[in-house]
Chain A
Amino acid sequence: METILEMREVKKSFGGNHVLKGVNFSVHPGEIIGYIGPNGAGKSTTVKIILGMLQQDAGEIMLFGRSLAENGDEYKARIGYVPENAELYETLSAEEYLLFVGRLYGMDEQIVRQKSFSMMKILGIESAFKNRLSSFSKGMRQKVLIISSLLHNPDILFWDEPLNGLDANSVQIVKEILSELKKDGKTIFYSSHIMDTVEKLSDRIIILNNGTVVADGPFAELQKDADGTLEQLFNQLTGFNEYAELAADFVTAMKGESQYDA
């Protein structure tokens, strides 16, 4: 099968800090990829490079069958992006923000307004359509960002922790939306820390640790190497197995009886 995205030995460092040390993986059209890893593993950096916000130091990235280096900026019209930390222009209203994004995609205003209002209605936040984003809760902002990434009907989605701040019901809807989008032939590349969701939702799971891919495959396949849940596999692959001791130490430290010196 042809690939829609391929990373070949992608490296990136900031100063002396090597964030990506040769990342390799490929994504096929219609796949849902769960991109997971501990904090600081380089997940967001990977996505930022693919979206052209950062340039890689070495390696090649193929997207839609062409090298990123040769692509202009037009390829971004086929991408839907949800940034980490729910960044958006807070002084605009939800309507204005979505219209703004829609116009950056060169879309007709009437269509954007209609699409975004219906999507907000389905997610239950249509009453805030004309309110400033600064008054939105984290979950509401996340919904606006998800909508803004879908306005232009993209082929591939890069969602950086899309479930952040959403309540359980909304998580349920978003999961279903992802399955629907997959049926529609969309490719979805998302990162998350909720192992349970990643385990059930992803066709394939890529685990990044310390700047390299340490596991890549469907959950069932990964399970053969390690019995149990994805969480356990994750702990094992990222070399983390002393959580019980650490928790006890943490509470000791809180009481001021720490064995470590500052």
Chain B
Amino acid sequence: MMRNIFGKESKSDTPFFIKILNFLAPMYRAFGVDYPTLRVIVEAKMVMDGRQESVIQKSGWGNKKKNDEDKNTFFQSLWMYAIFSLILLFLFAIDNIVFQYTIFFSYIFVMLISTLIANFSTILLNTKDQVLIGTKPVSSRTLSAAKATHVFIYLISFAAAIAGPIVIATFFFHGILAGVLALLLVILASLWCLLLTIIIYATVLKRFNGEKLKNIIAYSQIGLSVFTIIGYQIMNQVIQIVDPEVLAIELNLQWWHVIVFPLWFVAPFGMLQDGWSMTYGIYIAFLLLGTLGIVLLYRVNNDKLEKNLQKLDSGEAEEDKRSLYETITGKWLSWDKRELGYYHFVWQLTKHEREFKTRLYPSLASILVFPAVLLFSSFRFSEGAIEESVTFIYMPYFTMLMLPMLAVSLQYSKNYKGRWIFDTSSENHAGVFLRGMIKAMTMKLIFPIYVLLSAVVIVMTGFELLPVIINGFLLIIALFFMEVKRTITDYPFSRQYNASEANQGCLATVIFFGIVIVTTLFMFLIQEFIPFGAYIVLVLLLAVDGWLLTKGFDNTKLYQL
């Protein structure tokens, strides 16, 4: 039976989050929100998230299948993150409370912001609610708050999973006061992330419109990712390892470090340990003022986002043209007419779909910045020349980190209903479709980034590394096939974006890491320690890729989930 959230006889069945919301009702009213309406919307949204949408009716209506029952995959996978976050407990081995919580809040902010931008932007920017709820006597303020609350339920659950181990440990290691402080600050951090995102979106939406806006949002996300990573670079400088043997650490706080806001969250812990100091006092003042500022800004902006949201759907159509790059690569790489068709199909579809971009582009940006950060950190610790650093030589290999997110994103489309067209084909064309898709995505997204990173390496070290670099690219193609095989069971672009599936990319990434580490290590050992190893790998990979690119997926059958 479907759970009926709309009351009826099951008053005792009130979900947990609604009880919490009831508790917060006065706060909502203070923000000019119609609380009962908000509750109705959030309840309905949560019910919808728990359901998988079946695109085509299976066997007539009136029959309910078992798998139609309510389940929310998001909450079911949270324990993975909790376990993953247990690793952070090593922090308590280092006896410096400020250091412990600097790392902890850095981790929390990176995880929260990236999750929010990559996975929940589509919900915040959903225009369907405007048509279906905005046309009822519901103020934009209320609708906007309902959406924010909907996202916040996921965000806070996610925060609980990733921060849980440390917060619990804090009670044991630093006492009750510190534990309560950690708990409150994690909640505050989640709130910051959400409100900041909404404020930024609302501001951008207010000023611009149409097609331009979609690009600005995609870029603003990249900008935010870059900003985060730069922030951590500064953080990296703040922490000085005094004696690596005993893990002694000193913090080198300068006045200008005050711009790194996660440090504000750390100051209360410092004060708890060291007592009052000017630096801590200033940081705490910033924390309080920052919170107040964000809340006020949200209060001013919280109806603007909804009011301008329709702009997203009503942009003027730009003329679609295939770029020269797309045409030429398509001609060279797709040796089958049908495959070429899919090549262009995938290329154009991903070019226009905002949801696809908001999911994927932030991780693309971090792939470009992450190697740089890693490079400089390793440079700082090791005395050797930069060109000899293994991290540097293998830098282009980092491109493969985008594969899991990419493979997951390719399942979804805003226009998922168009999938019927794949079923009208008179023969099994899964092979050409998937190959065309992989080729298009490789040339559109992976190749440019890979070439850029490779160019840096080659310019600084010379051409003798070319085989290693080519091998890396071939490996990425092979891994891409594997990821697609692992992830995609239905036709690509045939599922709907759904809040409860929002963390699929993260999960795939976690699993993918294991595979990548093993493969790359293997390749690294062969290439570094066996004479002509790189050439042997080259031949092997060419054979594998050659087969994959011509015959891969030929026997695959895609089916409706």
The answer to whether the Cβ of A25 comes within 8 Å of any Cβ in the partner chain is: no
Q: Which residue of B lies closest to A73 (CB)?
A: B139
Binds A, one of B46-54, B225-233, B349-357: B46-54
The answer to whether the Cβ of B210 comes within 8 Å of any Cβ in the partner chain is: yes
The answer to whether the Cβ of A153 comes within 8 Å of any Cβ in the partner chain is: no
Cα A197 to Cα B316 in complex, Å, equals 32
Cα A53 to Cα B312 in complex, Å, equals 12
Instruction: Enumerate chain A residues within 8 angstroms of B51, measured Cβ to Cβ.
Output: 91, 132
The answer to whether the Cβ of B179 comes within 8 Å of any Cβ in the partner chain is: no
Residue-wise interface mask of A (127-140) relative to B, using a CB-CB cutoff of 8 A (1 in contact, 0 not): 11011101110000
Q: Do the beta carbons of A53 and B7 come within 8 Å of each other?
A: no
Instruction: Enumerate chain A residues within 8 angstroms of B54, measured Cβ to Cβ.
Output: 132, 134-135
Other-chain residue from A91, A104, A127 in contact with B136 (beta carbon distance below 8 A): A104
Interface residues on chain A, size class: 35 or more
Instruction: Enumerate chain B residues within 8 angstroms of A76, measured Cβ to Cβ.
Output: 135-138
The answer to whether the Cβ of B62 comes within 8 Å of any Cβ in the partner chain is: yes
Q: Do the beta carbons of A72 and B131 come within 8 Å of each other?
A: no
Interface residues on chain B, size class: 35 or more
Q: Do the beta carbons of B6 and A99 come within 8 Å of each other?
A: yes
Cα A29 to Cα B61 in complex, Å, equals 41
Q: Do the beta carbons of B44 and A89 come within 8 Å of each other?
A: yes
Count of chain A to chain B residue pairs whose CB atoms are closer than 8 Å in the complex: 108
Cα A75 to Cα B136 in complex, Å, equals 9
Instruction: Enumerate chain A residues within 8 angstroms of B55, measured Cβ to Cβ.
Output: 134
Q: Do the beta carbons of A92 and B47 come within 8 Å of each other?
A: yes
The answer to whether the Cβ of B314 comes within 8 Å of any Cβ in the partner chain is: yes
Q: Do the beta carbons of A131 and B62 come within 8 Å of each other?
A: yes
Binds B, one of A10-18, A174-182, A229-237, A240-248: A10-18
Instruction: Enumerate chain B residues within 8 angstroms of A77, measured Cβ to Cβ.
Output: 136-137
Other-chain residue from A55, A91, A128 in contact with B61 (beta carbon distance below 8 A): A128
Most-contacted residue by chain A among B4, B6, B7, B128 (CB, 10 A): B6
Q: Do the beta carbons of A16 and B40 come within 8 Å of each other?
A: no
Q: Do the beta carbons of A73 and B6 come within 8 Å of each other?
A: no
Q: Separation in Å of the A219 CB from the closest CB of chain B?
A: 29
Residue-wise interface mask of B (1-14) relative to A, using a CB-CB cutoff of 8 A (1 in contact, 0 not): 01011111000000
Instruction: Scan residues 39-57 of chain A and give those whose CB is less than 8 A from a CB of chain B.
Output: 45, 48, 51-55
Q: Do the beta carbons of A90 and B53 come within 8 Å of each other?
A: yes
The answer to whether the Cβ of A34 comes within 8 Å of any Cβ in the partner chain is: no
Instruction: Enumerate chain A residues within 8 angstroms of B310, measured Cβ to Cβ.
Output: 48, 53-54
- Assuming the A-B contacts A14-B315, A15-B211, A17-B316, are A96 and B136 also in contact, with contact meaning beta carbons closer than 8 angstroms in the complex? no
Query: 9 tightest A-B contacts by CB?
Result: A15-B316, A77-B137, A135-B61, A104-B136, A91-B51, A135-B57, A76-B137, A91-B48, A103-B40
| Extra contacts besides A45-B314, A73-B139, A92-B47 (4): CB < 8 Å | A76-B138, A91-B51, A101-B136, A134-B57
